[in-house]
Amino acid sequence: MKEHKAPIAECLVKEIAKPAKDSVSEVVRSGDLVSYCAEEGVRILGEGKFLVSDSFPGNDRTKYCLTSKIPLGVVLAIPPFNYPVNLAVSKIAPALIAGNSLVLKPPTQGAVAALHMVHCFHLAGFPKGLIGCVTGKGSEIGDFLTMHPGVNCISFTGGDTGIAISRKAGMIPLQMELGGKDACIILEDADLDLAAANIIKGGFSYSGQRCTAVKVVLVMESVADTLVEKVKAKVAKLTVGSPEDNCDITPVVTESSANFIEGLVMDAKQKGATFCQEYKREGNLIWPLLLDNVRPDMRIAWEEPFGPVLPVIRISSVEEGIHHCNASNFGLQGCVFTRDINKSILVSDAMETGTVQINSAPARGPDHFPFQGLKDSGIGSQGITNSINMMTKIKSTVINLPTPSYTMG
């Protein structure tokens, strides 16, 4: 995959307008994921358990239980448009090392990159047919695939379609990552330069089209003016234009996404949010926008724009920030900026999210870390180790010995 990174990355640039450099990183990261997964799998799958029956009350030592991990069968992998290669590979690699075969349904935009990526597995010697790649619109082929009796596990990353899939899927393991409204809580003692840099990276990389993007800033009123000024200065430096030119902000994936983002912005405008920049849009290209003084009655306080538009809510207590975070139907990641380690851990414990980052923007990687959402953000835990475990089941063999009364005679 690393040898073929250039043509795959070129597809990402063209299909999903991911900046050229980030497109290459996505492919390289995927190659690293495969290598790590191959090593991790060997160890995980080499381990089993040995249990003896007399450790449970009422039993003699007459039964020995040997457990090992076996594959599930066919894994259906459905990655999203924003990582057509990496979030496909994060499902393919654990599925294969665990001994499964796989059906991949790539996103409509990103399908060509995914086909190139699958070809790399063939070039590496995997038999054709071990990974089936089925392209098409989810609205047309999704139900057929997700409800197919031959599918033994579904790993899906995307929007709330995942909720419908989990209702329709049969009695099979599901791994679902369905978006987030990742909150960034800034306490009074935070390093505001560090926070501002992470808000920019977290909120605007790939034009905000990441489930782990910072999607709402909850900042203590006493430091809000300073923080907003710092973030505003950095927003002004973001470059806007084409992915080929490595611009920071590139067109969002579809016209309907751009319209949705615009709807959130207009709602906030009508309800009195402060625009730190002028709102500007050309086709699917939306200029980065920081919205200050956002209030809970605005849609953008709760909905995920999946675009370069970031709301700031001023809070008067840490509890208010935690309350806002926990009132969300999402619970993917969150972050807190403070110099006080004790406070940061208390805030982390109180936030109802799968992960809390202390003094850094939310992110899925490194790819062997556990990654999971609470509430509508999904079920199951990802990360290489968790995915391998999830894509296997336990098989037990019990050795029954003669009862003690006549064994020794």
Residues carrying an active site annotation: 177
Instruction: State yes or no: residue 73 binds ligand G3H (CB under 6 A).
Output: no
Q: Given the structure tokens 């989990």, which residue do they identify? A: 166
Instruction: State yes or no: residue 355 binds ligand G3H (CB under 6 A).
Output: no
Q: Residue count at the site for ligand G3H (CB under 6 A)? A: 8
Instruction: Give the chain as a 3 state SS string.
Output: CCCCHHHHHHHHHHHHCCCHHHHHHHHHHHHHHHHHHHHHHHHHHHCCEEEEHHHCCCCCCCEEEEEEEEECCEEEEECCCCCCCHHHHHHHHHHHHCCCEEEECCCCCCHHHHHHHHHHHHHCCCCCCCEEECCCCHHHHHHHHHCCCCCCEEEEECCCHHHHHHHHCCCCCEEEECCCCCEEEECCCCCHHHHHHHHHHHHHHHHHCCCCCCCEEEEEHHHHHHHHHHHHHHHCCCCECCHHHCCCECCCCCHHHHHHHHHHHHHHHHCCCEECCCCCEECCEECCEEEECCCCCCHHHCCCCCCCEEEEEEECCHHHHHHHHHHCCEECEEEEECCCHHHHHHHHHHCCCCEEEECCCCCCCCCCCCEECEECCEECEECHHHHHHHCEEEEEEEEECCCHHHHCC
Residue 86 Cβ vs ligand G3H, minimum distance, rounded to whole Å: 7
Residue 211 Cβ vs ligand G3H, minimum distance, rounded to whole Å: 3
Residue 340 Cβ vs ligand G3H, minimum distance, rounded to whole Å: 26
Contact call for residues 62 and 398 (beta carbons, < 8 A): no
Residue 368 Cβ vs ligand G3H, minimum distance, rounded to whole Å: 13
Between 284 and 355, CB nearer to ligand G3H: 355
Per CB under 6 A, which region of 142-150, 206-214, 274-282, 314-322 contacts ligand G3H? 206-214
Q: Return the exposure string of 59-79: e unless at least 16 CB atoms fall within 10 Å of the residue's CB, then b.
A: eeeeeeeeeebebbebbbbbb
For residue 378, report the phi and psi dihedrals to the nearest 5 degrees.
135, 180
Instruction: State yes or no: residue 181 binds ligand G3H (CB under 6 A).
Output: no
Between 88 and 363, CB nearer to ligand G3H: 363
Instruction: State yes or no: residue 186 binds ligand G3H (CB under 6 A).
Output: no
Binding-site member from 73, 99, 136, 365 for ligand G3H (CB under 6 A): 365
- The contact mask relative to ligand G3H for 210-229 (x = CB under 6 A, - = no) is xxx-----------------
Residue 325 Cβ vs ligand G3H, minimum distance, rounded to whole Å: 18
Between 77 and 268, CB nearer to ligand G3H: 77
Between 179 and 321, CB nearer to ligand G3H: 179
Per CB under 6 A, which region of 95-103, 292-300, 308-316, 363-371 contacts ligand G3H? 363-371
Residue 157 Cβ vs ligand G3H, minimum distance, rounded to whole Å: 6
Binding-site member from 16, 199, 363, 379 for ligand G3H (CB under 6 A): 363
Output the residue with the shortest Cβ distance to ligand G3H.
211
Instruction: State yes or no: residue 12 binds ligand G3H (CB under 6 A).
Output: no
Torsion of CA 353, 354, 357, 358, to 10 degrees: 60
Between 178 and 301, CB nearer to ligand G3H: 178
Instruction: State yes or no: residue 27 binds ligand G3H (CB under 6 A).
Output: no
Instruction: State yes or no: residue 82 binds ligand G3H (CB under 6 A).
Output: yes
Between 100 and 175, CB nearer to ligand G3H: 175
At 209, list the tokens. Answer: 């089209």
Instruction: State yes or no: residue 284 binds ligand G3H (CB under 6 A).
Output: no
Per CB under 6 A, which region of 118-126, 165-173, 208-216, 385-393 contacts ligand G3H? 208-216
Per CB under 6 A, which region of 109-117, 280-288, 350-358, 359-367 contacts ligand G3H? 359-367
Contact call for residues 367 and 383 (beta carbons, < 8 A): yes
Residue 60 Cβ vs ligand G3H, minimum distance, rounded to whole Å: 50
Between 83 and 204, CB nearer to ligand G3H: 83
Instruction: State yes or no: residue 364 binds ligand G3H (CB under 6 A).
Output: yes
> Among 379, 343, 330, which Cα is nearest to 157's?
379
Residues at the site binding ligand G3H, with contacts judged by CB under 6 A: 82-83, 210-212, 363-365
